[in-house]
Amino acid sequence: MMSLPDTDSEDELPPGWEERATDDGTVCYVNQQNKTSQWTHPRTGRSKRITGELPLGWEKYYDEQLKKFIFLNKETQQRSNVDPRLAFAVEEPTQNVAQVRQRFDSCSTALQVLHGKDLHGRIALITGANCGIGFETARSLSQHGCEIIFACRSRASAEAAIDRIAQERPSARARCRFVALDLSSLRAVQQFVQEIKQSVSHIDYLILNAGVFALPYTTTVDGLETTFQVSHLSHFYLTLQLETLFDYKTRIVVLSSESHRFANLPVDNLGVHHLSPPPEKYWSMMAYNNAKLCNVLFAQELAQRWKQRGISVFSVHPGNMVSTELSRNYWFYRWLFAIVRPFTKSLQQAAATSIYCATANELTGLSGLYFNNCFFCEPSKLSKSAALQQQLWQLSERLVSELLEHQSN
C-alpha cells in the first residue's frame, strides 16, 4: 500500500491529489503525479457526494472555448473549474456501522458537528428545549436554518430561551416557536399532538430530551411515579401519536444516560410496580437509572418495529454530570455537580451527540444504535434483551390505554 504523509486531518488530501465532482455529484479523486483517479478518498477509503444547490451568488455555465463547465461567483466575478460545493461534500452513507469512522469525540461541540450544514426547510421538535442540553441543541440547529418547535411546559421559560437565541441570531426568531407540552399528563400530550398536526405535515428530527432527576417521591395527574412518566411513558405515547408525521428522512433521538447500566429492572415478569414503585420502595437514583434503561429499551424496540419504514432511531448518552438544571431538585446533587463542573462537558459538548445522531449523513440507513461521545458504543446487556424490550413496550401500551380510558369515563 502507498505510504501517505502524516497529517492532523484524515480528510486532508495528500500532496498531488485534488478533488473533482462529476455531473451526478459524485466526488472523484485525481492524482496529478501519476495521472490516475479513483472514487474513494486516498486516506479514508470512503466515497463522497456533493448535494444541494450552488451557494448563493454562484452559477454554472459551459465555456465553449475551454470545452468545460465553469463556476462563476457573480458578486466577485471569480471563475473556477472547481465546484464550490466540494468544500461541503459528505461521505456516502453506509449500511454497516463498523464502516462508520469516528469524526468527532468527547471534546467536539454541537456547532462543530453542524459545520457546513444547511438545515433550512427542516423541522425539529425538541422536548425540554428551554434549558440545558435541550436549549443548546435548539440553539445550534436554529443557527443552521432549522425550524425549532420548543415542546416545553413553561411558556415564559421557552420564550426567554427563544429571546436568547434571537439576541445572538435575530433571523432565528422566526424559526423558533413554543407549543405547550406537559409530560406529566397523557391528556396534555394528546392535546399537544393535535396542535402539532394542525401546523406541520412532517418532522425531520424528533429529539426526546426532557427528563427529571433526583425528585422526591411524587406522582403525576395520571397517578404514576413522576420520573417514569416524564422520562419514558409520555415520550413513548408522544412518539407513537406523531407517527404519521414521520418518514424515511426522519431521525428520532432518545436521550438516555450511562446510568442505564445500573438499572435493576427484571428480565422476566416486568410489572408496573417495577417502573412506578410505591413510596416505601422508591429511591430517586434508581428511579432515574430505570427510566434511562427504559429510554434505551424503547429506542431499540422502536427501531425494530419501524425498520421497514426507514426511520432511524438512536439513543444517546450526552455526558456525565453535565451542569444543567437537572440537578435542581436536591441540594446534594447541586453541590456535587458544582464540584465536578470543571471536569465535565460543556453544554455545547453535551449537545453534540444528539445533533450528530440527528444530522450525520453517514448514519443514513442505520438504526437502533446507542451513542456516546458522537460514536457508537455497546449499551448494557440488559438493554439488549429482546424479551425486556417487548415487555416494556406492551406494558407501556397497556398503561396508556387504561389511563386514557379511565379519564374518558
Residues 86-121: pLDDT tens digits? Answer: 888 887 776 678 888 899 998 999 999 999 899 999
Could you tell me the three cell numbers for 55?
Answer: 451557494
Q: Does 4 score more than 50 pLDDT?
A: no
Q: Does 66 score more than 90 pLDDT?
A: no
pLDDT digits (tens, 9 = 90+) for 190-219: 999 999 999 999 999 999 999 998 899 999
Q: What is the pLDDT of residue 10?
A: 63
Q: Does 385 score more than 80 pLDDT?
A: yes
Q: Does 324 score more than 70 pLDDT?
A: no
Q: What is the mean pLDDT of residues 232-254?
A: 96
Q: What is the pLDDT of residue 30?
A: 87
Distance CA 147, CA 286 (A): 36
Closest alpha carbon to 86 in 28, 45, 38, 40: 28
Q: What is the pLDDT of residue 97?
A: 84
The average confidence (pLDDT) of the chain is 89
Q: Does 43 score more than 90 pLDDT?
A: no
Q: Does 173 score more than 60 pLDDT?
A: yes
Q: Does 364 score more than 90 pLDDT?
A: no
What's phi and psi for 86, nearest 5 deg? -60, -30
Q: What is the mean pLDDT of residues 140-145?
A: 96
Q: What is the pLDDT of residue 64?
A: 79
pLDDT digits (tens, 9 = 90+) for 260-315: 999 999 999 999 999 999 999 999 999 999 999 999 999 999 999 998 888 999 99
Q: What is the pLDDT of residue 51?
A: 75
What's phi and psi for 224, nearest 5 deg? -105, 155
Q: Does 383 score more than 80 pLDDT?
A: yes
Q: Which is catalytic among the residues 29, 205, 237, 288?
A: 288
Respond yes or no: is residue 288 known to be catalytic: yes
Percent share of the chain, pLDDT over 70: 90
Q: What is the mean pLDDT of residues 220-243?
A: 98
Q: What is the pLDDT of residue 95?
A: 67
pLDDT digits (tens, 9 = 90+) for 123-134: 999 999 999 999
Q: What is the mean pLDDT of residues 323-332?
A: 49
Per the model's pLDDT, the better-predicted residue between 40 and 137 turns out to be: 137
Distance CA 118, CA 193 (A): 27
Per the model's pLDDT, the better-predicted residue between 66 and 269 turns out to be: 269
Least confident of 11-20, 175-184, 331-340: 331-340
Q: What is the pLDDT of residue 340?
A: 45
Q: What is the mean pLDDT of residues 150-157?
A: 97
Q: Does 157 score more than 60 pLDDT?
A: yes
Confidence of residue 334 (pLDDT cuts 50, 70, 90): low
Q: What is the pLDDT of residue 151?
A: 98
Per the model's pLDDT, the better-predicted residue between 180 and 35 turns out to be: 180
